[in-house]
Amino acid sequence: MTLDTQVFTITRADLVRYAEASGDHNPIHQDESVAVGVGLPGVIAHGMYTMALAARAVSEWFPDSEVVSFGCKFTNPVVVPADGGVELEVVGEVKGTEDGLTTVLLTVTCDGVKVLGMPRAVLREAALRG
Amino acid sequence: MPVDQSLVGRVFPPTRPYVVSEEKIRTFVESTGGDYAGGPAPATFPIVLAFDAMNAFLEAESIDLFRIVHGEQKFAYERPVVPGDVLTATLTVATLRQIAGNDIIGTTSEITDGSGALVCSTSATLVHRGADG
């Protein structure tokens, strides 16, 4: 079963807020010169920020479900421009339910490129919104 | 300079106890554009603890945070994190490989509550980009 696709916009201001909230003040998420200096294409979103948005999508689909496990690889950087923002698209597919545990496979893309590798959440007693 | 291979298996001291409050959860939720009306923390909230443990590890080993890129993160939850929890994270260096001048550091962090019970275990792959990379 395919879930309703969710789209989030990421701006540099979001990264500043997320750095404060998470404690991750790595300058590659704030400072273009540091990011480029270590070989990145520009300021990139925290992998955990992208993952947090993917988790938000899951909790929008299944608002009262307990997450049992959640994981992904960070396969491509989400480059966030100085002006405006970049769109992140989260597609979800329910793979199946076994022993009360529902597996949701995600596809998370930015400009058509997958940014997370094998993002997957397992939920207990998953009930769709509505 | 590559990260020292003898680190594999090393367990770092637990982080200082972190008191989870509704305010801290709200700040985290709102930073990702969501609304918080009380209750359990979102799934990636324990990264706050894991990150604290990682920072202590990087500082102890004189590794620059700005050379670190996140490769992978996995969480396995025993129960949701709720306001009032007092949590600590204990980090273990699980694996270490060198690929193309980068160190690929595998860590696991166990997040426990005030009673010592496991709340969440999380594993991270950190890519330490070499100075020449």
Residue A101: strand, helix, or coil: strand
Residue A40: strand, helix, or coil: coil
Distance CA B97, CA B2 (A): 10
B12 and chain A in contact, CB less than 8 A: no
Region of poorest pLDDT, from A41-45, A62-66, B76-80 = A62-66
Interface of B with A in 39-98 (CB under 8 A): 40, 42-44, 47-48, 51-52, 55, 65-77, 79-80
Question: Residue B42: which of A20, A52, A69 has the nearest Cβ?
Answer: A52
Residue A81: strand, helix, or coil: coil
For domain B11-128, say whether CATH 3.20.20.10 is its number: no
How many whole angstroms from its chain centre is CA B99? 23
Residue A129: strand, helix, or coil: coil
The angle formed by the CA atoms of residues B51, B55 and B60, to the nearest 5 degrees, is 150
A63 and chain B in contact, CB less than 8 A: no
Instruction: Report whether A73 contacts A116 (CB < 8 A).
Output: yes
All structural domains of chain A with their residue ranges: 6-124
Please spell the DSSP secondary structure of B1-53, one letter per residue. -PPPGGGTT-BPPPPPPEE--HHHHHHHHHHTT----SSSPPTTTTHHHHHHH
For domain A6-124, say whether CATH 3.10.129.10 is its number: yes
Confidence class for position B98, pLDDT limits 50, 70, 90: very high
| pLDDT above 80: residue B131 | no
Please spell the DSSP secondary structure of A17-61, one letter per residue. HHHHHH----GGGT-HHHHHHTT-SS-B--HHHHHHHHHHHHHHH
Q: What is the ipTM of this complex?
A: 0.94
Nearest to B45 by CA among A127, A18, A72: A18
Instruction: Report whether B48 contacts B114 (CB < 8 A).
Output: no
Best mutation target among A7, A34, A70 (most B Cβ atoms within 10 Å) is: A70
How is residue B56 written in tokens? 């202590």
Confidence class for position B133, pLDDT limits 50, 70, 90: very low
Segment B13-30 mean pLDDT:
97
pLDDT in tens, B27-74: 999 999 999 999 999 999 999 999 999 999 999 999 999 999 999 999
Task: Please state the φ and ψ torsions of residue A74, each to the nearest 5 degrees.
Answer: -105, 95
Distance CA B91, CA B72 (A): 16
Q: Whole-angstrom distance between the N-terminal and C-terminal Cα of chain A?
A: 16
Give residue A25's pLDDT.
94
Best mutation target among B66, B120, B122, B128 (most A Cβ atoms within 10 Å) is: B66
Nearest to A66 by CA among A106, A105, A119, A124: A124
All structural domains of chain B with their residue ranges: 11-128
Residue B112: strand, helix, or coil: strand
Instruction: Report whether A79 contacts A86 (CB < 8 A).
Output: yes
